[in-house]
Amino acid sequence: MNPKLNIVANQFSQLARKSRNNVSSTKVNKEAVDNPPLEIFKLGSKTLRTEAKRISKVDNQIRNLAKEMLQSMYSAKGIGLAGPQVGISKELLVIDINFEDSAAEPLILINPEITAFGSTLNSYEEGCLSIPGVYLNVVRPSTIKLKFRDEMGRPRKMNADGLLARCIQHEVDHLKGVLFIDRVTSTEELKKELTKEGYKMKDVLPLD
C-alpha cells in the first residue's frame, strides 16, 4: 500500500505503541537503497492475481524474505507490501505505518486471517505500490480482529483500527488476488485515474 506521503501516519503512533507487543523484532534500515532486493510487480502482471499459499514452516528463509520485502517497501516509500506483489505466492505481509520513524518496528504477518470486521465503515483514499500514481477512495470496515503467526512462527492475535486496519485489509486482499481498484465504486473516477497513469480498465476485476 502506498498512500500519499503526507498521509496521517503520525496520528496512529499511539496505536502502533499499543500494538508493540505484537510487532516484529526484525531490524531493517528504513533508508531507501538504490537497488532494492525485490522487484515490485505492476498492474497487468498475472502474479498480482494469483492466490497466495499458506506458509507451512516459518524458518530463516521466510525471515530473510520478510527482510527483503521490508527493504523493498521502504525503498518504494510504501507502508505495506504483500508476497504476490514481489512475485512470491506466499501468505506473507510486511507493514509499517510509521515508516518515517526509525524507532518504530514493522509488522510481519504470516498466514494472516481477519477473524472479525467492525460494523462501522469509512471511506479513505488508498494507493498501491503495484499501481503507482493512482489514488482513489475505498470503503472498508474501520476496525478488525486478526490472527497470524509472527516471524518466529508464534501464533498471535491483535485488534486494529484506523490506518493500520485499512492497511492490513488492503494487504490481505493481495493474498487473494484482489487489488484496491477492484473495490472502487466510482467507475468514472476509476477510469479517469487509470487512464491518466497509462493503465487499462480491463485489468480491473469485478468482485462477487
Q: CA of 107: how far to CAs of 21, 48, 55, 57, 202, in Å?
A: 11, 21, 17, 18, 33
CA distance 185 to 168: 20
Place of cell 476509476: 190
Question: Which residue among 105, 126, 151, 171 is the active-site one?
Answer: 171
The H or E element that residue 156 is part of is strand 155-161
Which position has the grid cell 531507501? 32
Q: Compute CA distances 142 → 1, 113, 146, whole Å.
A: 16, 16, 13
CB atoms near residue 35 (< 10 Å): 6
CB contact at 8 A, 118 and 166: no
Q: Is 171 a catalytic residue?
A: yes
User: Is the Cα dihedral 178, 183, 184, 186 positive or negative?
Assistant: positive
Instruction: State the cell numbers at 142.
Output: 474501520
Which residues are identified as catalytic?
Answer: 171
